[in-house]
């Protein structure tokens, strides 16, 4: 019997044909791409699970909204629509649209980290870590220990370790910490949710030392759906009420709207403090554009205003999170380990377990991503030592807590049959796992290297 699949709560109105290459062709394509999946052209990918970021399918309402875009430089109607919806959803008085999540980080983090040495988070996403470092500070992760064992089934593996947070703050000195960041869901730990109880506790610890709390809200709606299912207090609450409860815990938030707001481009900054918001607006004008468009086209702002509401729909989220659970269940049957239980936006395959003979400095998760492409034209990515990069002080290769190959599922794009192809590919790879070789880096930039680095397979090809 097949695992449960919650059918799509929509029908398809427009389709995009995709190409299927032969295995021989794909072997050549990935070689030509220097074994970096970011260098593949999208036409050569059959199922693109590189990211769920900006890759979702918009609804008819959003496409209609595109035509309603107000492209005025100042005072555009669409911005007011975004701000009104965001205020209502998040309960924040001050909202600044920007063009994506890292733009929000670039504008806000230097304000919070001004003359401070550290940011602490349950886990920093890679661009968040980069912007903490670019602001001259260090990013420290403080996730609960169960997150680090992919085989432990727990409801909230994305949680902050609040006891350790308190210890860390005292050890580092509260004066040196600019912000405590709660990432929901915890992307780097496998799209794992954070409980509201845990967020409240983090708030308490931060308050004790007068440190502001920021939510990295890329997947806050998926997080709210998990909270409703798994946290007794919220069993009968609406997702809207749960999102509000989550955001009460924060002074600031950044959001990549390319995730849960189902738009191809967009971001938000939320700010309770008026003085800080004035700084946000000034920096936004320098880096993003005037405050009433924030680096966005009017049409994209309108799609975002609508997407914020659609992304919070419970039927949609049941189907969406159901897709991960379905794929996870297929892998369970095949004995393929992944960060369990299934996360909200992706399955994070445990490449360390599938390819135990490849050490972290030969990038097992990257090796698996390459095999998935060769096997079935599936594009996944490394969330492991390859992505983590080198220590900014010593320049040595860092050892990541995980070696994940992430299969991120775009919203409203792929069907049950596509997920079956993905599971079948992994099962085939598992059969020949012991023959798969690691990789070495030939060329790399100093930050966010995984996007542009060039690699070479080790041993005989």
Ligand X SMILES: *Cc1c(COP(=O)(O)O)cnc(C)c1O
| Residues noted as catalytic | 73, 125-126, 216, 218, 259, 450
The nearer residue to ligand X, 212 or 295, going by C-beta atoms, is: 295
DSSP state letter for 143: B
The reply on whether position 187 binds ligand X by CB under 6 A is yes
The nearer residue to ligand X, 227 or 433, going by C-beta atoms, is: 227
What is the Rg, in whole angstroms, of the alpha carbon atoms belonging to the chain? Answer: 21
Length of the chain: 461
The reply on whether position 192 binds ligand X by CB under 6 A is no
Q: For strand 213-216 and strand 346-350, is the pairing parallel, antiparallel, or unpaired?
A: unpaired
Asked if 437 and 459 count as a contact pair (C-beta separation under 8 A), the reply is yes
Distance of closest approach, residue 28 Cβ to ligand X, in angstroms:
30
Distance of closest approach, residue 312 Cβ to ligand X, in angstroms:
17
The reply on whether position 183 binds ligand X by CB under 6 A is yes
The residue at minimum Cβ distance from ligand X is: 101
The nearer residue to ligand X, 185 or 292, going by C-beta atoms, is: 185
The nearer residue to ligand X, 215 or 436, going by C-beta atoms, is: 215
DSSP reduced 3-state for 347: strand
What is the biggest distance separating any 2 CA atoms in the chain, rounded to whole angstroms?
61
Rule CB under 6 A: which of 368-397 touch ligand X? none
DSSP state letter for 95: E
Give me the 209-228 binding string for ligand X, x by CB under 6 A, dash otherwise: -------x-x----------
The reply on whether position 94 binds ligand X by CB under 6 A is no
Q: Kindly give the interhelix angle for 364-376 and 23-32, rounded to the nearest 10 degrees.
A: 140
Say how many residues touch ligand X, by CB under 6 A.
15
Give me the 99-128 binding string for ligand X, x by CB under 6 A, dash otherwise: -xxx----------------------x-xx
Please enumerate, as own/partner, the contacts of 330-335 that have beta carbons within 8 Å and a separation of 24 or more: 330/3, 330/419, 330/420, 330/423, 331/423, 331/426, 333/3, 334/423, 334/426, 334/427, 334/430, 335/430
Q: How far is CA 16 from the centre of its chain?
A: 25
Distance of closest approach, residue 221 Cβ to ligand X, in angstroms:
13
Core vs surface per residue 1-40: b (16+ CB within 10 A) or e: eeeebbebeeeeeeeeeeeebeeeebeebbeebbbbbebb
Distance of closest approach, residue 414 Cβ to ligand X, in angstroms:
19
Q: Which stretch binds ligand X (CB under 6 A): 95-103, 232-240, 298-306, 409-417?
A: 95-103
Task: Please give the full DSSP string across 204-270, using - where no structure is assigned.
Answer: HHHHHTT--EEEE-TTHHHHHHHHHHH-GGGTTS-HHHHHHHHHTT-SEEEEETTSTT--SS-EEEE
Neighbours of 233 (CB within 10 A): 13
The nearer residue to ligand X, 29 or 129, going by C-beta atoms, is: 129
Distance of closest approach, residue 219 Cβ to ligand X, in angstroms:
7
Distance of closest approach, residue 101 Cβ to ligand X, in angstroms:
2
The nearer residue to ligand X, 36 or 256, going by C-beta atoms, is: 256
Rule CB under 6 A: which of 434-453 touch ligand X? none
- Residue 249 and residue 261: Cα distance in Å, rounded? 21
Give me the 8-37 binding string for ligand X, x by CB under 6 A, dash otherwise: ------------------------------
Distance of closest approach, residue 273 Cβ to ligand X, in angstroms:
21
Distance of closest approach, residue 265 Cβ to ligand X, in angstroms:
8
Neighbours of 68 (CB within 10 A): 15
Rule CB under 6 A: which of 313-372 touch ligand X? none
The reply on whether position 159 binds ligand X by CB under 6 A is no
Asked if 304 and 97 count as a contact pair (C-beta separation under 8 A), the reply is yes
Task: Please give the full DSSP string across 179-199, using - where no structure is assigned.
Answer: EEEEESSBTTTTSB---HHHH
Asked if 412 and 63 count as a contact pair (C-beta separation under 8 A), the reply is no
The nearer residue to ligand X, 118 or 125, going by C-beta atoms, is: 125
The nearer residue to ligand X, 189 or 211, going by C-beta atoms, is: 189
Give me the 249-278 binding string for ligand X, x by CB under 6 A, dash otherwise: -------x-xx-------x-----------
Strands (E), 277-357: 346-350
User: Where along the sequence are the contacts to ligand X (CB under 6 A)?
Assistant: 53, 100-102, 125, 127-128, 183, 187, 216, 218, 256, 258-259, 267
């Amino acid at each position: 019997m097949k695992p449960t699949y919650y059918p799509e709560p929509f029908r398809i109105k427009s389709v995009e044909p995709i190409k299927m290459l032969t295995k021989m062709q794909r072997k050549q394509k990935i070689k030509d791409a220097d074994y970096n999946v970011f260098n593949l052209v999208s036409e050569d990918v059959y199922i693109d699970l590189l990211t769920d970021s900006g890759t979702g399918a918009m609804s008819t309402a959003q496409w209609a909204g595109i035509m309603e875009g107000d492209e005025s430089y100042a005072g555009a109607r669409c911005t007011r629509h975004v701000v009104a919806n965001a205020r209502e959803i998040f309960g924040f008085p001050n909202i600044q649209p920007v063009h994506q999540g890292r733009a929000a980080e670039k504008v806000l983090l230097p304000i919070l980290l001004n003359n401070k040495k550290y940011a602490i988070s349950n886990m920093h996403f890679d661009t968040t870590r980069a912007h903490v470092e670019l602001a001259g500070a260090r990013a420290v992760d403080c996730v609960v220990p169960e997150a680090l064992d992919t085989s432990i089934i727990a409801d909230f593996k994305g949680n902050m370790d609040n006891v350790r947070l308190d210890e860390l703050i005292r050890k580092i000195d509260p004066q040196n910490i600019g912000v405590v960041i709660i990432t929901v869901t915890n992307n780097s730990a496998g799209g794992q949710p954070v409980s509201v109880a845990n967020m409240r506790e983090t708030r308490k610890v931060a308050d004790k030392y007068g440190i502001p709390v920021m939510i990295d809200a890329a997947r806050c709606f998926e997080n709210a759906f998990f909270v409703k299912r798994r946290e007794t207090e919220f069993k009968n609450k609406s997702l809207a009420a749960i999102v509000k409860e989550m955001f009460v815990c924060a002074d600031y938030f950044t959001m990549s709207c390319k995730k849960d707001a189902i738009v191809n481009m967009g971001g938000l900054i939320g700010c309770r403090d008026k003085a800080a918001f004035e700084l946000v607006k000034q920096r936004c004008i320098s880096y993003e554009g005037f405050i009433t468009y924030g680096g966005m086209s009017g049409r994209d702002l309108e799609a975002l205003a609508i997407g914020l509401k659609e992304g919070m729909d419970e039927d949609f989220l049941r189907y969406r999170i159901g897709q991960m659970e379905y794929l996870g269940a297929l892998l369970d049957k095949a004995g393929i380990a992944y960060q369990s239980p299934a996360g909200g936006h992706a399955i994070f395959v445990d490449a360390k377990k599938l390819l135990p003979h490849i050490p972290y400095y030969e990038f097992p998760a990257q090796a698996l991503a390459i095999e998935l492409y060769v096997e079935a034209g599936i594009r996944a990515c490394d969330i492991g030592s390859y992505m983590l990069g080198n220590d900014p002080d010593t320049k040595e290769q860092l050892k990541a807590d995980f070696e994940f190959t992430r299969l991120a599922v775009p919203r409203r794009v792929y069907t049950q049959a596509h997920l079956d192809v993905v599971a079948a590919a992994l099962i085939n790879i598992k059969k020949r796992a012991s023959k798969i070789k690691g990789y070495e880096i030939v060329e790399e930039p100093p930050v966010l290297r995984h996007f542009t680095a060039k690699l070479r397979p080790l041993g005989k090809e």
